[in-house]
Structure 1
Amino acid sequence: MGFMKISLISIISLCLISCAPAKSSYFGEESWVGLTESGAEISFSKLEKEEIALNVYSPDCVPCWKEIPALNLLYAEIESQFPSKALYMVVDPYQIVPDISDDRPFGEVYQLAKQRMEIEIKNRKIQVPIVFMKPPFRVKEGGLITGTPETMLFVTKPMRLYYNFLGSISEQASADVIRKDAKFNFFRYQFGMESL
């Protein structure tokens, strides 16, 4: 009886281990593709990074403007110390170009959005690389991203969302003050940049 009990437990354990669902994309993020300012295409699921942070930005969002110093600080640190990670600022071209309908071709909307973001980069001193997202990525009610600012953290291989920051990471302007901001440090912890 004892041998049968051990065998049955072993068989059930093996089934549970081998039948466990594979980690996968939950929101279609595997298909997210965008264009850089230079027109190069980026497929986030194919980047050679272990983790990716995507900050969703809009030129009409005041908290987005206030968050830029913190994002620039994070970007510089990630670039210099964490080669397996990446931070991008992403925009929905259909959301940031006024009076554009969804049926306009992406190429036209991309050019208009690019012009608008060139002004943002200059005026707001954005250092984080910007990616203009292609559909199906959208900032809209009822979708994954319903507003800005929002910063999503992903693991890759497969690309999968594991944390979503709603609102600004920090709205402080001084680097010294930003480094002491609890939410800023919580982001760094969640993104594997430090331990608490």
Structure 2
Amino acid sequence: MGQKTFPGLFFLILSLTFCAPAKSSYFGESEWSGVTESGEEIFFSSLDKDQIALNVYSPDCVPCWKEIPALNFLHEQIQEKFPRKALYLVVDPYQTVPDLPEQAGWGEAFSKAKARMEKEKISRGIHLPILFMKPSFRVKEGALVTATPETLLFETKPLRLYYNFIGSISEETSLDAIRKDPKIEFFRHQFGMDGI
């Protein structure tokens, strides 16, 4: 009986090893791309990073404004100590521009959102890179992101969402308070930044 069980067990283990589901995209994020202020398109699925964080921002969102000092701090830490990670501030151009009709072309939406975000960058002291998301990404009811602020954490290769922070990561303003904020510690842990 032991001789008959071994081949069956072997084939069961072998089939489970090769038939196990691979890590994959669940929200179409592998198609997401954003455009920099200079007009360069960045495809998240082909970025040479191990993890990326996308903080979804809106100029009309007060908690988004309050979160900027913490995001600037995290961005600086990531740049200095974690070159295989990246943090971006992302905006949905259609949500960023008030009264922009849904049928407006992406070029018009990008141009108007860019002008608005240039003012935001100066008035709010935004230091992290801003990306204007292409239409496969939207902030609206029924989409993955329905409101701001929200921070999405992704593993890459393949691009896959693994954690989603709803609301601001921290609204502390002083560096000392930001460093001690338990929410910042939690973000660091989730994003593999332990030991800073």
For the superposition of Structure 1 and Structure 2, which TM-score range results when normalised by the shorter chain?
over 0.9
Long gaps (5+) in structure 2: none
The structure 1 segments of at least 4 consecutive aligned residues displaced by more than 4 Å after TM superposition are none
Q: Is 2:17 the counterpart of 1:17?
A: yes
Q: Which residue of 1 aligns with 2:90?
A: 90
Q: Provide Cα deviations, 1:110-149, integer angstroms capped at 9, x if missing partner.
A: 0100010011000000001000001110000111001000
Matched letter for residue 62 of structure 1:
V
Q: Give the secondary structure class of the aligned counterpart of 2:39.
A: coil
Percent identity over the alignment is 63
Alignment TM-score, normalising by the size of structure 2: 0.98
Alignment TM-score, normalising by the size of structure 1: 0.98
Q: Is 2:100 the counterpart of 1:100?
A: yes
Separation of aligned partners in 1, 2:139 and 2:109: 15
Separation of aligned partners in 2, 1:34 and 1:53: 13
Q: Give the secondary structure class of the aligned counterpart of 1:78.
A: helix
Deviation at 1:25, TM superposition (A): 0.7
Aligned-pair RMSD on alpha carbons?
1.1
Q: Provide Cα deviations, 1:151-196, integer angstroms capped at 9, x if missing partner.
A: 000011110000000001000000100111111110000000006x
Q: Which residue of 1 aligns with 2:77?
A: 77
Separation of aligned partners in 1, 2:190 and 2:93: 28
Q: Is 2:177 the counterpart of 1:186?
A: no
Q: Which residue of 1 aligns with 2:115?
A: 115
Separation of aligned partners in 2, 1:82 and 1:29: 23
Matched letter for residue 147 of structure 1:
A
Q: Which residue of 2 aligns with 1:52?
A: 52
Q: Which residue of 2 aligns with 1:127?
A: 127
Aligned length in residues:
196
Q: Give the secondary structure class of the aligned counterpart of 1:152.
A: strand
Separation of aligned partners in 1, 2:6 and 2:181: 53
Separation of aligned partners in 1, 2:19 and 2:170: 42
Separation of aligned partners in 2, 1:117 and 1:101: 19
Deviation at 1:108, TM superposition (A): 0.8
Separation of aligned partners in 1, 2:172 and 2:178: 6
Separation of aligned partners in 2, 1:51 and 1:28: 17
Long gaps (5+) in structure 1: none
